[in-house]
Structure 1
């Protein structure tokens, strides 16, 4: 358990261990075992949605694909504890009134049943707005967007407790990749970005007051800072600021990363690194302004690139964990198969074998940043001091088990009952 520079991620609890009748267990050996991290180590769960929806007895022709997915799921759960699921509107509801609610709900439940937190991405975004919404009048578009937010947040309230409420609002009013603007861009152009953010957050908040709602963007410029300032001044309640870090053109480096975090930490809100990628192949040329514009027939992973990716992922995660405002990191892809833009950004090769970056990140999350099981002894009053990463623990003694949560950094006191 390596703790240098991470004291804000660690707590120490003096636990009084009691028996089933409430009496202190004096001079008793207690085994302490970490079960979860409070910190959200996330990845997209897109690649596992099919597996979560498969029949338990597939046809013989489907066994090979299922076996690959099962192996990938094992690799996923070995490192990550928070899954982001896709709610891109044009894919989720290709025809009005026919959303893929059941399919995504089964996937969310599948992750939750395996002890994983689940996040939905996104509720409002212009790029994948449905074409069927495009010709509608502005007021009807707004009403439909509001209804969509309420439907998704309400329908998944039992399994999804965090949402990217609105995605890339800075560019939303002027975005265009079609001959005519999509419906969300039209609405944002009419209402303005602050009103769009308010719409997304207020509808989601009404549907689930307990959900964590994130304002998410790739724009790390002062324009995003200004939007946050304006939104907060307008009284919109934001739970976390989402920062994307798709490093297809090269690793940001520690200095730029810390400077970016500090700029957005000034708002006093938690920071979620919502979309992170690092390449294990050739980098995208620096002159490309929109990452989506870089189209190549093949973008392979390379041995040299894989070593670079492994080094950079360790440096990046160390930098992020050291910053007290960072509450969550979502890496954008477990595998190169079907990766975003075809880039070699996954931690597992397309053939299912792990890259060095996968092992490097696992060694951090489940090695350096994990409390190994240990045997401790209570004192005369049944007390024992337990230091560990913020998260959930199990205590074992003579066949009995109790649970303990280390919720805050620094010292604390608690009692648990065994038996």
Structure 2
């Protein structure tokens, strides 16, 4: 590596959520829905690797924030550092969302992966629709890189400096940058990024370059040429937006050939989409795919780690872009860890408590609304691998919370113990399906999240 920065920061557990931090939908479930016995970030750190996720700064609270802080030792802002977000008008900057991510990472002992300084997409209208001479365009690009990379100097571990420069056949992508400045816009951007933040690792990032093919070979040739010319280039990002069952057989070989050039490699945007609905068989295949990617990275010393592009299906970009596809991430929409999560943990050397093979069903408790004296809660029961009939969910309130109303379930409370059984119309949870029930309750002082145990009524 060019810099002396360690590849990972010291990892550690965030404290258990108590009081008002339980406002979000924190997942605790039946034994089948437990996360790994050791957080992913600690497993990864023990192997000298990073494990990360793209995160939405607006959601870094409650369950979402708890998982993001507990499980990952690096985070990537999903859209908050892209050009249209940070420089919506020329010379006028909006740093708020990006600052949120950087602050969150600092509070949780995490690295930040900056994404992205130069891209053909998500550029503001003033830039995309302007008429620029090459000299003007070059100045705009240099100024933007200096402003953004300079603002976070010393706080960003790695930058995806140039994003997606190639077409599928290995030719350069037509873009405002290539058309206006030629292929040397890449070398210039890297050089300007180094000047703005000398300590950050500088990457070129692209998709469909995971295996050995025309596109990845073009990227390989570019990186080799840049190094020969003395242009600062520290790493290559393989996005890894994959389709179920289609992990390239040459993934590890491809990672190794880039490493042999003397650069680091990172899996930067991993997800594995499937045609919906999700089934047990598809989730099993997805887990195998995630494990194959993680295994390939673990096997190559200069593969610094794996970042997933969002860790929960509720925050995934896939359904909005690929009609009929989804369920692409390691956590389901209710924040329950899927088989893919356990496969990653296993690849990193961890022991896990995977879904109970007898039921394959989990229960996720969340607080969906809270006010001074009360709150609305929800429990979602999900099954994958088998159906569940005549279900029962039980938990113990830890701070004097009292049920006042329930719907879609018959709920009773005795002291602190709560028991909810299915209503007459929703007693069966099908394989691949879910049932949700809700309740209102009172609270005073704190509202810690209970552990839910899922079972069957006699």
TM-score normalised to the size of structure 2? 0.59
Q: Counterparts of 1:67-78 in structure 2 under 5 Å?
A: 69-78=61-70
Contact 1:173 1:186 in 2 (8 A): no
| C-alpha distance in 1 between matches for 2:318 and 2:85 | 17
Aligned residues of 1:153 and 1:207 also touching (Cα < 8 A)? yes
Q: For residues 153-197 of structure 1, what are the alpha-carbon distances to aligned partners after superposition, in whole Å with 9 as ceiling and x for unaligned?
A: 111124323111111122498646xxxxxxxx233124322x111
More helix by share: 1
What is the CA–CA distance in structure 2 between the aligned matches of 1:249 and 1:142, rounded to whole Å?
41
Which of residues 153, 158, 167 in structure 2 aligns to 1:157? 153
User: Given the alignment of the two structures, is residue 102 of structure 1 paired with residue 96 of structure 2, yes or no?
Assistant: yes
Look up the SS of the partner of 1:367 in the other structure.
Answer: coil
Give the drift of 1:300. 4.2
For the 8 Å contact 1:167–1:217, the answer to whether it is kept is yes
Closer/same/farther in 2, CA of residues 173 and 156 from structure 1, 3 Å limit: farther
Structure 2 distance, partners of 1:324, 1:175, is 31
Name the SS of the counterpart of 2:314 in structure 1.
Answer: coil
Please give the alpha-carbon distance, in whole angstroms, between the structure 1 residues aligned to 2:120 and 2:178.
9
Q: Cα distance, 1:97 vs. partner?
A: 3.4
Deviations 1:326-367 (A, max 9, x none): 112111120112312313211111232221212332354472
State the partner residue of 1:260. 254
Q: Which residue of 1 aligns with 2:238?
A: 243
Q: Aligned pair in 2 of structure 1 residues 278, 187: CA closer, same or farther (>3 Å)?
A: closer
Give the SS at the match of 2:330: coil
Structure with more relative contact order (C-alpha pairs < 8 Å, separation 6 or more): 1
Distance 2:155 2:300 in 1: 29
RMSD: 2.6
Where do 1:18-417 residues align within 5 Å?
36-37=45-46, 38-46=48-56, 49-52=57-60, 69-85=61-77, 86=79, 87-133=81-127, 134-138=129-133, 139-171=135-167, 175=173, 185-193=175-183, 195-220=184-209, 221=214, 222-248=217-243, 250-253=245-248, 255-279=249-273, 281-282=274-275, 299-342=276-319, 343-365=326-348, 367=350
Query: C-alpha displacement at 1:237, in angstroms?
Result: 1.6
CA 80–331 in structure 1, closer or farther in 2 if over 3 Å, else same: same
Number of residue equivalences: 292
SS in 2 for 1:136: coil
Query: Contact 2:74 / 2:110 at 8 angstroms: preserved in 1?
Result: yes
| Alpha carbons 1:333, 1:345 under 8 Å: kept | no
Gaps of 5+ in 2: 1-6, 8-41, 320-325, 353-458
Partner SS for 1:327: strand
Shift in CA distance, 175/319, structure 1 to aligned 2, threshold 3 Å: closer
Q: How far apart are residue 309 of structure 1 and its match?
A: 1.3
Runs of 4+ in 1 over 6 A off after TM superposition: none
Q: Structure 1: which 5+ residue stretches go unaligned?
A: 1-8, 10-33, 53-68, 177-184, 283-298, 370-419
The 1-side partners of 2:113 and 2:187 are apart by 20
Q: Is the partner of 1:123 in helix, strand or coil? A: strand
Mapped to 2, the partners of 1:114 and 1:365 lie a distance apart of: 21
Contact kept? 1:270, 1:327, Cα under 8 Å = yes
